[in-house]
Amino acid sequence: MSSGKVDGVFRMRSLGTATAGITDQYADGKAAKVWQLYIGDQSSRTQNYKTFLVNLLAQKRVSTILDTACGTGVDSVMLLEEGFKMTSSDASDKMLKVAHKTRWERRKEERFEDWVIEEANWLTLEEDIEKPQGGFDAVICMGNSFAHLPDFHGDQRDHMKCFENFSNMVKPGGIFIIDHRNYDYILANGKSPAKNIYYNSSHIQDIKTSVLYVNNKPNLITLDYFMNVE
């Protein structure tokens, strides 16, 4: 993906979400600059999945939400506009800079002045985020974010710790929403499904799918996006 906004080719491939001992994959700031182009036009994207998410939250009578992988704040902004009270976190301060900028630019609008934005790590979530009394009505982890967490120990202990932390942030009777790509489909068909409600940029020209096998078992799936952002 090339653009005058970034230097040469922008590659999303990385070790995964920043955790202790792992360099922030978004530290150079390039991803934050082109993220909106990567996920697609916000209005069309909203049409594709806003109804699903908002209706689900409304059914649970949700008011307070913790967005644990907010990135530049795209989903959080959508939910703020729908009247939810948002706390948004991400492990990348470069991505959060965009969210902070958005909050400042829209600070006079209802809900935006009270929008809480924090840098946080899933493995230390309870230490990094101050939760309301009893917990959040909903915790969300959208955009295939959780799939970027490496399993360095080979026993998914970090993943289980993260789920424990997510659970502890939700109030009793609340809801936790996590989404990710259909990896079963990718393994069975060698490519991503044609339909995607989250990443639907009109700039996408091609997606190359690679599967790394270790001891004859799938270990890593990589999707290389080729985009025209001229």
Give the residue numbers annotated as catalytic, written as ranges.
26, 143, 148, 181, 199
**Closest C-alpha among 165, 170, 168, 197 to residue 181:** 197
Give the full edge-to-edge strand order of the sheet including 136-141: 116-119, 85-90, 64-67, 136-141, 170-178
Sign of CA dihedral 152, 155, 157, 163: positive
Q: How far apart are CA 174 and CA 135, in angstroms?
A: 8
Q: Residue 176: left if φ>0, alpha if ψ -120 to 50, beta else—which one?
A: beta
Q: Which residues of 105-127 are buried (b: 16+ CB within 10 A; e: fewer)?
A: ebeeeebbeebebeebbbbebee
CB 208 within 8 A of CB 19: no
What are the tokens at 15? 């070790």
Q: How far apart are CA 114 and CA 87, in angstroms?
A: 9
Q: How far apart are CA 175 and CA 135, in angstroms?
A: 11
